[in-house]
Homo-oligomer: A and B are copies of this chain.
Amino acid sequence: MPLDPKIAARLKRDGGGLVPAIVQQYDTGEVLMLAWMDDEALHRTLTTGRGTYWSRSRGEYWVKGDTSGHVQHVKGVALDCDGDTLLVKVDQVGAACHTGDRTCFDADWLALP
């Protein structure tokens, strides 16, 4: 079974067939990471309830936590008004970032005026 055709028809993919997925902790609101999905990754995420993405660097699907144990249990997925971005609400086990930080945005705050 591929991705639901009604959903697939609304997706606006980039030149590589991908859509950015913002991953957010469902209860605290923390933005954990940004990853990328193609139709199949979205289908797997929706049908398995596990955050599943396309790795642009490795050229393969990855299920978050399969290596690290830092699983993402999916609570909801929304498509934005333009159909070109996904918001994935998850319950993140442990650290979302491969550095060991809770989120991928913890380490590098840029200066503001």
How far apart are A16's CB and chain B's nearest CB, in angstroms? 9
Q: What residues of B have a CB within 8 angstroms of the CB of A81 in the complex?
A: 97-99, 101, 104, 107-108
Are B7 and A20 within 8 A (Cβ)? no
Tell me the count of chain A residues lying within 8 A, CB to CB, of chain B: 43
Interface residues as binary, A96-113 with B (CB distance below 8 Å gives 1, 0 otherwise): 011101001111111111
Within 26-42 of A, Cβ neighbours of B (below 8 Å) are at: 28-31, 33-34
> How many copies altogether?
2
A93 to B43, CA, bound (A): 35
Distance between Cα atoms of A104 and B87 in the complex (Å): 10
- Give A80 to B15 CA distance when docked, in angstroms: 23
Q: Which 6 A-B pairs have the closest CB atoms?
A: A29-B29, A80-B104, A78-B105, A34-B85, A87-B105, A79-B108
Apart from A46-B113, A81-B108: 16 A-B pairs, beta carbons within 8 A: A10-B108, A20-B20, A28-B29, A31-B87, A34-B85, A46-B110, A48-B113, A77-B109, A77-B110, A78-B106, A78-B110, A79-B105, A79-B110, A80-B105, A80-B108, A81-B101
